[in-house]
Chain A
Amino acid sequence: MPGRAGTPRPVLTVEGLTIQVATPDGAKPVVEDLGFTLNRGETLCLAGESGSGKSMTALAIMGLLPQPMARIARGSIRLADGTELAGRSERNFRDIRANRISMIFQEPMTSLNPVMTVGRQLTEVLLEHRACPRAEARARALDLLRDVQITDAEKRLAQYPHELSGGMRQRVMIAIALACNPEILIADEPTTALDVTVQAEVLELIRALQREHGTTVLMITHDMGVVAEMADRVVVMRNGRQEEAAPVRTLFAAPKTSYARELLDAVPRLGRSLARPAPDRTRDVVDVADLTVRFPMRGGVLNRITAQVHAVEGVSFRISPGETLALVGESGCGKSTIGKALLGLVPWEGSIRVDGHQMAGLSPKGLKPIRRNIQMVFQDPGASLDARMTVGRQVAEPLQVHGLASGSELQDRVAWLFRRVGLTPDQIDRYPHEFSGGQRQRICIARALALRPRVIVADESVSALDVSVQAQVLDLLRELQQEEGLAYLFISHDMAVIDQVADRVAVMNLGQIVETGSREQVLRDPAHAYTRRLLSAVPVPDPEHVRPPVLPREGEVGSPVWPLGQSPARHEMHEIAPGHWVARAPRSRAA
């Protein structure tokens, strides 16, 4: 591997970097006295949790700090030839960007211009930086797209960003970033918004490009799995300071600082989870049969329904009290829609029984008493709390809405709920913005618990949280489950988290369950090709582990959109072991 052999040649040196942000209480440092060198051809990871200052560092190197709130107070950022970047004017920065340093961001959709074709966005960069004559720009753009291994590169040039998948968009972003052959590529959480299989492919692409072009990569990430897979060296950051800097193997084998150790310990790992108590399987608290959710797509002059998105197609499952069923799948597979259907937030067909009560065909009034038994905790606690209401009143709301408590009884109950989720009652009168992400999720959990439900639908409930906070919230959920006998429908894309919480796992693809069984059966002994592919893409937080390449996709990608009147073929499920059901390939493709 380049960078690991021979004497390291630094291409970027950061010394004593201090970045200040203006706050109402005066300037506050967000990065303090940070120093590192980036050597030619290597990958350096800046790892840390939210608020660690890792992204600010990347922005400072690119001269993209938000003006006028943030500024470099002290320190220097130097390129190999001595060019100083700190304190450079916007005008002078333009020669540096794209030519010498490029950056790719987390969300490729928002980084690309939605009204310009991919081809124009590529040639624009080339021409703007005079990387090639106008006549050759198109040919060069095509080369770049081939470089990032996009299929049908010729066709993509004429397409708009929305016509591409998330992975392809990120490839286009990488192509744009590499257009002028920069020495350094800064990747700020480049795969966080992508599905795990796409993440694996994009990471593999970055490695391949690095091998071919000798580009140096500075990678910003919170994901220790990605760190283990990509980094040569790691700088662990916390609250704007460097906690530990070490070669990746050294760091993972023997972290020196306690923070790095805690961070690594908190990372969920596949196959290292504790045994779970056996739930009471004699009765079901949730019984879903043949659930189908379709969304109409309108089109044509008359705006009539021309096609349907088959978000969920004939899904059945049961959950016992005290049991956790995990729904896994890639984005768009319909897992979140199932959660919403259970809460009555989307129109659905089929049968949903909660605690024995059928929910189909009930009016909103009839649904209300059943709703008490099923509550939801969403992904982003910031978005699911009302910013203009105190958290205490929000936790009290379900009780008021259902007329279960009022006056001092209500206050006592809210205080009790706050203590129950590890908060203190004196925080009741505060507003959501005064809490951290983890605390906000605790507030959401308290609100969900207010009605003493039997079932909680947790839709990516820990995905937006830092790993250390994630572990604490998962502990809280586990504790509540044991004490109250709660059943969880745990919706997640993160296999390692699911391994920690689930009793049973159901894997979804294109609106249908393709494999279901106990955690051991599905995660350790996957039978369906789709499950195997998903598992093969999960990054392992261990630099010694060389992950085999992601298994190829079997057959077509497929689409959940079908013309009116047509439906996808329903999978036939077969029991290959007690409780372990696997879909046989739909008949149309059966060999």
Chain B
Amino acid sequence: MTEAVASSPAHGRGTGRVLRDLVRRPRSAFGLTVIVTMLAAAIFAPWIMPYDPNDQMFDGLSLEGAPLPPSAEFWLGTDLLGRDLFSRLILGAQTSLIIGVLANGIAVVLGATVGITAGYFGGWIGGILMRFTDLMMAFPALLLAIVLAAIFKPSLLIVAMVIAMVNWVQMARVIYTETRSLAQREFIEVQRAMGSSTFRILGRHILPHLVYSIIVFGTLGISTTVLLEATLSYLGVGVQPPTPSWGNIIFENQTYFATAPWLVFFPGLAIVLLALAFNLLGDVLRDTLDPRLKGRH
């Protein structure tokens, strides 16, 4: 029986269809909106911020010297030093997005490359790569990050690289396992019998099947990356204060959670929203890229 072709009118392929799908579906539309808003906030930060994020304002503290809760004047309240939280979050979006996208992007590419290479070729290449991955996994990630950050003088780029060096491992493991099982599938054997080049097999026939895992792990990685950056900031080897990032705002203020919960809640919400947005986008992207799921929603 031939199953009915999905009812999408344009049976076309390519980026045009994918983009249309992403905008049309509520889940991905929401994700896109959040990401675009945050991007815009990061880019246009100097013009949007109501206050100077590093200005320790006198009227930003109560008479007892406590931070102020959200009000009409300070939308998201102020922190312990009397700085406007909303302004700090907007500026923090710059750091967090750069770290989240850049560090995670490097980790994904590196992890996927190692995983595919080790999984497809196996043998001694695979052995060495995966033993190295296991070693990295067993090594305390935080310790490694601290050592690396101590060697290189902390800057945004270095922090991003350090996080990528720590985060590629899980991706490599997952992709390795999947590639191994894919490489033994019959349609890959067909390619080898046909005389296809290794490059062609990997790019055209293995990679498309890994998109699912790469997207899922990639989007999940964004939130862990942002949090790892926060941890590093907390330990003094991350983004240096007073530059705000969502992570270091949480860590600066976590001890005051009981008395000034907004200081942890809003940056936390920002991180969750960002992760959720990428997850939703990833979900829909995965579905639109899989021909078997086309039109089933």
Contacts and interface: CB of A to CB of B under 8 A. Distances in A.
B292 A433 contact: yes
Contacts, number: 76
B277 to A, nearest CB: 26
B208 A439 contact: no
A433 B197 CA distance: 26
Contacts of A429: 11, 13
A401 B196 contact: yes
B9 interface: no
A345 B2 contact: no
Interface in A430-483: 430-431, 433-436, 439, 447
Contact of A371 (B4, B13, B189, B193): B193
Given A376-B190, A401-B197, A387 B292 contact: yes
Contact of A51 (B1, B187, B289): B1
Interface string A477-515: 000000000000000000000000000000000000000
The main secondary structure of chain A at its interface with chain B is: loop
A388 B290 contact: yes
A340 to B, nearest CB: 8
Give the most central of A24, A435, A439: most B CB within 10 Å: A24
Interface residues of A, number: 36
Interface string A509-534: 00000000000000000000000000
A430 B292 CA distance: 11
B151 interface: no
A544 interface: no
A384 B205 CA distance: 12
A24 B195 CA distance: 39
A382 to B, nearest CB: 9
A386 B2 CA distance: 17
A376 B193 contact: yes
A434 B186 contact: no
A388 B185 contact: no
Contacts of A51: 1
Contact of A398 (B13, B192, B194): B194
A367 B194 CA distance: 10
B291 A433 contact: yes
A23 to B, nearest CB: 9
A307 interface: no
A105 interface: no
Given A387-B292, A389-B204, A431-B292, 10 more contacts: A25-B4, A51-B1, A364-B195, A378-B189, A378-B190, A386-B205, A386-B208, A389-B208, A431-B291, A436-B2
6 contacts: A388-B208, A389-B208, A401-B197, A430-B5, A431-B291, A433-B292
The 8 closest A-B pairs by CB, nearest first: A431-B291, A383-B186, A343-B193, A388-B208, A384-B186, A371-B195, A24-B296, A368-B195
